[in-house]
Amino acid sequence: MKVGQRRSKQRELILEELKGLTCHPTADELYELVRKRITNISLGTVYRNLELLAANGVILKIETGGKNRFDGTAEPHPHIRCTQCGRVADVKHHIEAPSLDESQSRGYQVQGCSIEYFGLCPDCKMSSH
């Protein structure tokens, strides 16, 4: 966390819940889990804390084109996303991100690379048959 950023019990609990999951929930989904432990927490508090944790590099924010999802593992790694329901999961093997030299970057200042696979998750695959 940034210098001057005060610790909060709510933020610590949100982070603990997120790190305990194998899925990558939306803020709404995480709110439902956290609310079981802190009944008076607001959805806005969960959103603000997730954004703060992501901005500080503590967690990853996965922008899927729909609702953002969050990952308790901050190191960049590949994901697979369901094109039907939006569910996101980690890809189990390490894939080296390709690097670009100056001539390939077309004048961009490259800040990172994310690798995402997409397809149907097991649940959606079963329901489509």
The response to whether 82 counts as a known ligand-binding position is: yes
DSSP per-residue letters across 84-99: TT--EEE-SS--PPP-
> Strand, coil or helix: what is 129?
coil
For the sheet with 116-119, list strands across it.
88-90, 79-82, 116-119
* Tally of domains within the chain: 2
Query: What is the distance between the alpha carbons of residues 87 and 17, in angstroms, rounded to a whole number?
Result: 18
The response to whether 121 counts as a known ligand-binding position is: yes
Query: Do residues 98 and 128 both lie within one domain?
Result: yes
Q: What is the CATH number of the domain that holds 14?
A: 1.10.10.10
Report the predicted TM-score, pTM, of the whole model to 2 decimal places: 0.79
Query: What is the distance between the alpha carbons of residues 62 and 70, in angstroms, rounded to a whole number?
Result: 6
Query: Do residues 49 and 83 both lie within one domain?
Result: no
**Digits of tens for pLDDT over the chain (129 positions)?**
554 467 789 999 999 999 999 889 999 999 999 999 999 999 999 999 999 999 999 999 998 777 899 999 988 888 999 999 888 998 887 777 777 887 788 888 887 778 889 999 999 999 877
The response to whether 23 counts as a known ligand-binding position is: no
pLDDT at position 3 is: 41
End of a domain among 58, 74, 90?
A: 74
The domain in which residue 124 lies consists of 76-129
Could you tell me if 47 and 28 are in contact, meaning their C-beta atoms sit under 8 angstroms apart?
Answer: no
The response to whether 85 counts as a known ligand-binding position is: yes
Query: What is the distance between the alpha carbons of residues 74 and 71, in angstroms, rounded to a whole number?
Result: 7
pLDDT at position 110 is: 80
